[in-house]
Amino acid sequence: MRSIVCVKRVPDSEARVRIAGDGSAIDSSGVKYVMNPYDEFALEQALQLKEAAGEGTVTAITLGSDEAKETLRSALAMGADEGVLLRSDGSMDGLVVARALADEISQREFDLVLFGKQAIDDDNMQVPAMVAQLLSLPCATVVVDMTLDSGTVTAKREVEGGHEIVEFELPGVIAAQKGLNEPRYPSLKGIMAAKRKPLEEKDVTVSEPGLELLGLAPPPARPEPQIVGEGPEVVPELVRRLREEAKVL
């Protein structure tokens, strides 16, 4: 079972996001960066598939700056066999990222390519389906459960009001949603072993973007909060304000 897992370095979900002076980027000073949480589900799935098959490889690929090597080290510490850094700076839209990843993936042999369903920085939710389309591979996004039986993947996708059951033959692509598994913590042994695992680095030239960021701004301010009061006695007043002031009832 040969799996490729695409992992991205993103600000921790707890991080306070400040926007740099000119509005062109977020201010990364003091921000803790982690592996995109959904990519942990993807990586865990790849590790479990390899363990179940009793043989195979797990390759972690990231596209980003030099610092993204940290994320690859985390992937190696969790159990990936090798890491690949596609080095390129700057902001990219989803298709630019997908093209660069697809280019690298197409040069490799694999059975399954795994992604997180969404990167929690850009919140695009685009790259997995785009890579699948570019490589003419079958694909299931937002996957909460999957089984593999003699080369056929059956995946459960989260959709409004239920789940869609999707089938395809390997090679293919899945994008992991929370619930797919419980990602493991890297063991001390894993962290030590990671230092000796291969980590390939290459500079890549990415394609021209189709979207230009005009600026980042803080979220629209919410109205000044009102504490209506304390206890069940104030509920009629709450309901009155919801009806007459907010007009939502």
Partner 1 sequence: MATILAFAETRDGALRPVAAEVVSAARSLADEVGAQVVALVVGGPGTADAASDLARLGADRILVAEAESLSVYQPDLAVEILAGVVGDSDPTAVLFAASAQGKDLSARAAAHLGLALASEVTDIEVADGTPVVTRPMYGGKAYGRFRFLGAPALISIRPNVFSVSESPGEGSVETLPVSEATVPRTRVVGMEAAARAALDVREAPMVVAGGRGLQDADNWGLLEDLVAALGDGATLGASRAVVDAGWRPHSEQVGQTGKVVSPNLYFAVGISGAIQHLAGMRTAGVIVAVNKDPEAPIFGVANYGVVGDLFEILPVLTEEVRVARGA
Ligand X SMILES: Nc1ncnc2c1ncn2[C@@H]1O[C@H](COP(=O)(O)O)[C@@H](O)[C@H]1O
Contacts of 158 (CB under 8 A, 6+ apart): 142, 143, 144, 177, 179
DSSP state of 147: E
**Per rule CB under 6 A, is residue 181 in the interface with ligand X?**
no
Whether the Cβ atoms of residue 121 and residue 91 lie closer than 8 Å to each other: no
**Per rule CB under 6 A, is residue 229 in the interface with ligand FAD?**
no
Q: Which does 192 bind (CB under 5 to 8 A by kind): ligand X, partner 1, ligand FAD, none?
A: none
Q: Which of 11, 37, 138, 209 binds ligand FAD (CB under 6 A)?
A: 37
Q: Which of 67, 179, 198, 200 binds partner 1 (CB under 8 A)?
A: 179
**Per rule CB under 6 A, is residue 11 in the interface with ligand FAD?**
no
Q: What is the maximum span of the chain, computed from C-alpha positions, in angstroms?
A: 68
Which residue's beta carbon is nearest to the bound ligand FAD?
13
Which residue's beta carbon is nearest to the bound ligand X?
116
**Per rule CB under 6 A, is residue 6 in the interface with ligand X?**
yes
Nearer Cβ to partner 1 (85/135)? 135
| Amino acid, single-letter form, for residue 55 | E
Contacts of 58 (CB under 8 A, 6+ apart): 3, 4, 5, 43, 46, 47, 50, 79, 80, 81
Tell me the C-alpha to C-alpha distance, in Å, between residue 118 and each of 22, 141, 159, 228: 27, 10, 15, 38
**Per rule CB under 8 A, is residue 132 in the interface with partner 1?**
yes
Tell me the C-alpha to C-alpha distance, in Å, between residue 101 and each of 33, 38, 52, 232: 21, 17, 27, 56
**Per rule CB under 6 A, is residue 97 in the interface with ligand X?**
yes
Contact window for ligand X (CB under 6 A) among 23-31, 116-124, 157-165, 238-246: 116-124
Nearer Cβ to partner 1 (56/94)? 94
Whether the Cβ atoms of residue 26 and residue 11 lie closer than 8 Å to each other: yes
**Per rule CB under 8 A, is residue 21 in the interface with partner 1?**
no
In angstroms, give the least distance from the CB of 120 to ligand FAD.
8
In angstroms, give the least distance from the CB of 198 to partner 1.
30
Contact window for ligand X (CB under 6 A) among 60-68, 75-83, 138-146, 223-231: 60-68
3-class DSSP assignment, residue 245 = coil
Report residue 174 as tokens.
């899945």
Contacts to ligand X by CB under 6 A:
6-8, 36, 38-39, 42, 62-64, 94, 97, 101, 115-116, 118-119, 122, 124-128
